[in-house]
Amino acid sequence: MADPATPPQTNQPLIALITGAAQGIGRAIALRLAEDGLDIAIADLKSQRTNLDGVAEDVRAKGRRCIVLECDISQEEEVLQMVQATEKELDGLDVMVANAGRIIVKPMVDTNLADFDGIFNTNVRGTFLCLRTAAQAMIRRGRGGRIISASSVAGKKGMPLNSIYCASKSAIRSFTQALAGELGPHGITVNAYAPGPVDTLLLQSSAEACAKYIGLPDAKTFLQGYQTNAALPRIGTPEDIAGMVSFLAGKDSAYITGQTLTVDGGVWMD
């Protein structure tokens, strides 16, 4: 049985699998872990293949192996195939980063079951499938590992216009706590990162929707209001989040598990 305080010891490079890796935070995580010396499997929807191929080129330019996988994480068989392909083509799986997710901006009274199912199928069902399948693979291999998921500051405090999204990200926080207790004896740590607003295309579209609902002129005005309440008055970057994932994937986090770590410039303070 692996020692939970010690990362896997091997002469071979560690292997990381990142979902939602075609752009934004996922892309930044893939590049940062490649810089850290890991070989990388990147996954996203089939519609994102062109972007995925571009990320793979950037990873390989850093001297790391990289494979590209098309996967809808809400589909059990596709997640199983994604993990199996990673193990087969890269000789293992040491770090699972369940980054893929969706957001919806709507008052709860205006939402319907299709809205609910769309978010929960990706954020909750999909994350569950990724965590479970990765954990099974790591247990079989017996080398320990790191499982890391994307929660959100919205998973720690409910926010107007984001009720379904908030609930889905709160579920990931609970997954993290429960699974950490189950996997500790196997030398596998389980943590999550909880971003605030991060400068991505997803942020721009959601901020525009929020601004429209509350009567602000544009997304910029909405985000300025957020920055006013932050200890560090700026919007986060994908690289800010990638730095946290790098830490959680590395040896210096060996005694940290079951945590959902906020990266939001100091708006939410535990």
Q: What is the pLDDT of residues 84-98, one digit of tens each?
A: 999 999 999 999 999
The pLDDT mean for the chain works out to 93
Q: Per-residue pLDDT for 248 more than 80? A: yes
Could you tell me how far CA 167 lies from the centroid of its own chain?
16
Q: Is 169 a catalytic residue?
A: yes
Q: For position 4, what pLDDT does the model report?
A: 45
Instruction: Read off φ and ψ for residue 232, nearest 5 degrees.
Output: -110, 105
Q: Report residue 59's pLDDT band, with 50, 70 and 90 as the boundaries.
A: very high
Q: Per-residue pLDDT for 225 more than 80? A: no
Q: Are 128 and 176 in contact (CB under 8 A)?
A: no
* Listed residue (49, 55, 151) closest to 100, CA to CA: 151
Ranking 144-153, 209-218, 243-252 by mean pLDDT, the lowest is 209-218
Residue among 46, 165, 212, 251 flagged as catalytic: 165
Q: Is 213 a catalytic residue?
A: no
Residue among 88, 156, 169, 212 flagged as catalytic: 169
* Listed residue (56, 55, 52, 58) closest to 66, CA to CA: 56
Q: Per-residue pLDDT for 254 more than 60? A: yes
**Homologous superfamily, domain 15-197+237-263:** NAD(P)-binding Rossmann-like Domain (3.40.50.720)
Query: What are the extents of the domains in the chain?
Result: 15-197+237-263, 200-235
